[in-house]
Structure 1
């Protein structure tokens, strides 16, 4: 009986993790697929260009940041699983509207609504991941769920391009809408997720910022994400416009990064087995070395690909450590805290592109990589502080 209960419990947890991973994959796929199919989408709207279509992506990002900031705390009041189900319903409706859009402004509005759903869903997903993780396996569990981003990057983008070529770009949004619908039913039918619902005063971004440790970690998140998105934004333009490599090579570099991000998932178990401060020092120091390496080998394509793989591995582990720390600070306000994280992340998409543009224009890709290395230094300093406090406590 005990063995059968353990097997049942393990299967339930695995099913929940698969649902959370798939939810990230669908959300990520929607945020990433518009760029490669923008030209095909523009054909459906006479007088519009691919650049015009990408306005929808900009509104999606802004809506996601605003939603994460204002609505993520709902998960603390009604339970993260209920918040996720509602967000997936809204995502399904928005993606269905995108598939049927008769004009570009409707597509833009649909993507903005999808951003509202994503801003509520992502913090709920990270909250649920922390709730279902077994004690001592928090990083391993989070790594498993984070592979959803790899699926969206490697599988989602490729499938979107294939569906666009074989059927129509609208088929992409139909498939995504049906996936969101299936996930909403799956999460709702999974029963009790062990949600922590706050019974006291309502949570908000302001109450979350008062939690000791949250502001420091969020500052590190802002620098860390700016470092990533700033360099990632100009990787394609550098390879295509400066190095004159074919588009396929740019796609290969991004795919290699995605593979690195995915293959790092099993390392979550290694993180759990060692002292967090020590691991964080190694990970952030290693990521700084990778960024400096990218600056050094920017003109050497094969070495650049190798370092893109290391970039994916390092970024996965660094993201894991930052998210895990945020999830540990206050279980009753995880939704609001994760909302702040998601809002900062999506704002860094714009900040990275804006801040790195003059660096790229005047000093090149290598200077951008060097700037990214410097932006990871605060995270390394924070990790060293954690490690020193741990050592002092042991003494």
Structure 2
């Protein structure tokens, strides 16, 4: 694996994977594990990447791609590329400016920023940055507090509400349990009341304080009636995140949502759940154009975005790579990661014979493992070091 210098500039890092290695060298081990880890034995965490690697694109030839364009729309609003940030809590863990810096990066990149219920800055502070802001909602046991958060999001000028549907409680994440993970005193869930928002700071041995906190705060009774009530209560576009079964996607569309997000929570909830991209095409068929379909979990490159588009997605959510950039260089680092995604996506689109985003949805795909001795794998396993692959 390539060594990361003690000091470096974001422009010297040439891929999101470079930022991952840089962030791993900078972050305390418990924080690194909290961001990078998955639930259980991390089977689904690994499956997300393995599934992406098995999707193969059939490029089209003799297409004019001299004006290859990434701009499109998500939820009816223009975006610079078919990407939004995924909701990730407690971003102050990796950088003092946390969500504020990440939202600045999203604004500069021209994509939506998703501020979470567990944001370490208030949704009002994040929305004031000026990015197109989506608010992610965890349904709380206190339904009145939940709907008050939605009202606050509307008042703050947020452009959409995203209900997370796959976290009745936080799954057992063994890395956090081994680390006895707890939040530092200066990191809180700023959107919640003082007692509720600061309850994740002390952990006993073999315990995650964050998991204990969410088990006490989140509503395991979340159901379709809650989604329907949320639809009635907000005028904003509504997304539901954490959908994997096509039947659930179809029912969400019937409830009037504007988008479903196909997601296994980045491999952080049910260990053994299907990789998100493996069910993407079926979900797109099930909703039959009644709402948009976004893909979350495992996106690490512009080629991954192209694969999601080819399988029917309107766009993708990017989570961990943004945090790696944030940890490495604040707003500049996070923006550099988004720039690299845009550069890689433009390269992938053009080389696939697509002059714009919509054309990617007509690309043919195949699935199957690559040869075990493929040079790309050897290159990645050596950390991207040139000259290490024997041909």
Give TM-score, length-normalised by structure 2. 0.25
Q: Which one has a larger percent strand, Structure 1 or Structure 2?
A: 2
Q: Which one has a larger percent helix, Structure 1 or Structure 2?
A: 1
